[in-house]
A and B are shown apart, each in its own frame.
Chain A
Amino acid sequence: MKIRLDHVVKTFETFRAVKDVSLEIESGELVALLGPSGSGKTTILRMVAGLEYADQGHIHFGDQDATDIPVRDRGVGFVFQHYALFPHMTVAENIAFGMKVSKVKREKAAIDARVADLLRLVRLEGLGDRFPAQISGGQRQRVALARALAVDPKVLLLDEPFGALDANVRRDLRRWLREIHSELGITTLFVTHDQEEALDLADRVVILKDGQIVQQGTPEEVCRDPKSSFVMKFLGDANVLAAEVRDGKAYASGAAIEVSGMADGKAELYARPADLDWSLQGPGIPASITRVLDRADGRRVLATAETGEHLEFDVEPERLVKAGDGGFVTLRRAKVFALA
């Protein structure tokens, strides 16, 4: 089911949580709402669910205006950040709850069969008789998902689905959610503040800041072509250098890079650690190494430029570098944003 948000506004007392957001989610798409806390992402999700009402604007499900449909009748599956499993019910009873309270009456045998199917889908066969307190966090998360899927929702909404889990479980569940999504093809919207999670999982990433959408696109689009310094910084580590644009080139502490179509003036140059390299000869940014950090997947070098700017970049683990070395930081690629 296609979801369309049309100029949606939400204010809590005096705080404007969501300011005029318009967004389209295609049928079957898996979309991430990504942003720092306070960016309005959870509020948007809760408005799509009907747990919060929009002060202005409309929310459409397909051709239907769903703005005033109460959550009970909206037909969404919502997975809560802390799972919100009913603690006094077993896993199976939790999953069956939506079918039992539904206006559509189902035979007990049909409900049991569906619960068994869902337990298989979320790989929790044999745990149906446990209580939520008796299973792990990752398992609880999967029960929450099964419970939401049991009512055949038109839309699946997940609020920080993996926020409360540890890193390894998180990675497994991410891959698994992606599989479930391609199996069921259900339109899915999830909220996260973790850029890696959003980029790994989503077909499309919507980046929010202060209640507004700042950029949206496929992971490739937002990563390769961030439109603002906020997106650049939010998506990953970035080095920042003061720069000056002159005649289609940006100059920063001894390095220069082509920028076409930018007006002359002061600017900031952003480069990812992988976009920089180390060389003993110029040209480049003269710098000295202050620390070398060894990590499982490579070697990170911290350096200070002659102009005093702090730089971080990655080199191959074989590269001979040590604290105190002097040399030049070279630019492979960078993004330049004019200073307002």
Chain B
Amino acid sequence: MSTPATRRKPPRVGDQPLFRRLLIGIVLVLVAFLILAPLIIIGVEAFAKGWQVYRDTITHPDTRHAIMLTVLAALVAVPVNTAFGIAAAWAITKFDFRGKRFLLVVIEIPFSVSPIVAGVAYLFVYGLQGVFGPMLDEYGIKILFAIPGIILASMFVTAPFVARELIPLMQAQGRDLEEAATSLGASGWRTFFSVTLPNIKWALLYGVVLCNARVMGEFGAVSVVSGNIRGQTNTLPLHIELLYHDYQAAGAFASASILALIAVFTIIAKVALERQGAGRVHSPATRPSLVANTAEKTS
């Protein structure tokens, strides 16, 4: 930052103090208005009517039920999507098969489709007027406007998270390690648990954390399929909206503060994991084997 240092180096674009301060200033103002202010408002409004009202909202049976439902959705959707993500990444990066590119595209779809579209689609597949609806109804299975629908919608929206984290890393690592392990006599499971998993664990956890955050915060798809039955099919985000529409601002903000808290923990976990080398950055320990694994396969 000192002048002699800048004089010795060739001047870079935007290196003038005025320009620099202007840029930093703009960013700070935007962050303050767009991110910090709303967060602070959540905190302030949640306690606007005092600690008592905050506690009452949080401990209200409907709120507690909403929290339980959100946690339940996460408890089912995250492990399922983790298993799916590992399986998909493993298949795509370690094997050659027809339709591999197609599978890659399909995995990405939930990212590009608006969640509300996913919700409506589920409505038409499992709803009473839908494809499987009448059949499921005959057997007394209720998917829409019930917990299974909420879990299914959450799973759809968050399906790509784990796979997306793992595929680039596993692609870069190549197949050598697995081939080495099997040539030494290891079984498929053994290879996975003692060779593959230790080398992807940080990226995997990173994907799980992001997936979990998204499941807990999911609104669009869930709001279509849940039916918003208070105390029955309301997840935490839906509950917040409901309270807000009921003119219970303090209650809405109190519930929102729980989601915000979860978000803060997620960010802390994410940063901690990134320090461990997860999240698109390849861990230094795996770097030596990155070079040209596939280049000489045919020679």
A residues with a Cβ closer than 8 A to B are 12, 15, 17, 35-43, 46, 49-51, 70-74, 76-78, 80-88, 97-98, 101-103, 131-133, 140, 147-148, 150-151, 159-160, 164, 193
Q: Is the CB of B184 within 8 A of A98?
A: yes
Chain B proximity of A186: nearest CB distance (Å): 15
Residue of B nearest to A147 (CB): B184
* Residues from chain A with Cβ under 8 Å of B199 in the complex: 86-88
Separation of A215 and B296 alpha carbons in the complex (Å):
22
Stretch at the interface among B103-111, B139-147, B241-249, B282-290: B282-290
Is there contact, CB below 8 Å, between B185 and A151?
A: yes
Interface residues on B, range: 20 to 34
Interface string of B154-183 (1 = CB under 8 A from A): 000000000000000000000011011111
Q: A78 with B289: in contact, given A37-B296, A41-B299, A86-B177 (CB under 8 Å)? A: no
Contact A12 B298 (CB under 8 A): yes
Report yes or no: B187 in contact with A133, Cβ–Cβ below 8 A.
no
| Chain B residues, CB < 8 A from A35 | 299
A-B contact list, 20 entries, CB within 8 Å: A38-B299, A42-B298, A49-B183, A72-B186, A73-B185, A76-B183, A78-B179, A78-B183, A82-B292, A83-B289, A84-B179, A85-B180, A86-B181, A86-B198, A87-B283, A87-B289, A88-B285, A101-B186, A140-B288, A151-B185
Beyond A35-B299, A81-B296, list 19 extra A-B contacts (CB 8 Å): A42-B299, A43-B298, A49-B183, A72-B186, A76-B183, A77-B183, A82-B291, A84-B179, A87-B199, A87-B285, A98-B184, A98-B186, A101-B184, A101-B194, A103-B185, A132-B285, A133-B284, A151-B184, A151-B185
Please tell me which one of the listed residues B185, B286, B298 contacts residue A101 in the complex, with CB atoms under 8 A apart.
B185
Q: A51-B179, A72-B187, A101-B187 are in contact. Are A132 and B288 (CB under 8 A)?
A: yes
Q: How far is the CA of A284 from the CA of B291 in the complex (A)?
A: 50
Residues of B243-299 whose CB lies within 8 A of A: 283-289, 291-293, 296-299
Give Cα A164–Cα B291 distance, bound, in whole angstroms: 10
Instruction: State whether A82 touches B293 (Cβ < 8 A).
Output: yes
Residues of B within 8 A of A164 (CB): 291
B53 is an interface residue with CB less than 8 A from chain A: no
Q: How far is the CB of B282 from chain A (nearest CB, A)?
A: 11
- Interface set, chain B 58-98, CB cutoff 8 A to A: none
B176: chain A residues at CB < 8 Å are 80, 82, 84
- B12 → chain A, closest Cβ, in Å? 34
CA–CA, A43 to B179, complex, Å? 14
Cβ-defined contact, A42 with B297, below 8 A: yes
B190 in the interface, Cβ–Cβ < 8 Å? yes
In the docked arrangement, what's the CA distance between A295 and B194, Å? 51
Chain A positions within 8 Å of B181 at CB level: 86, 97, 101
B75 to A: closest C-beta gap in Å: 29
B217-230 contact mask (Cβ, 8 Å, vs A): 1 or 0: 00000000000000
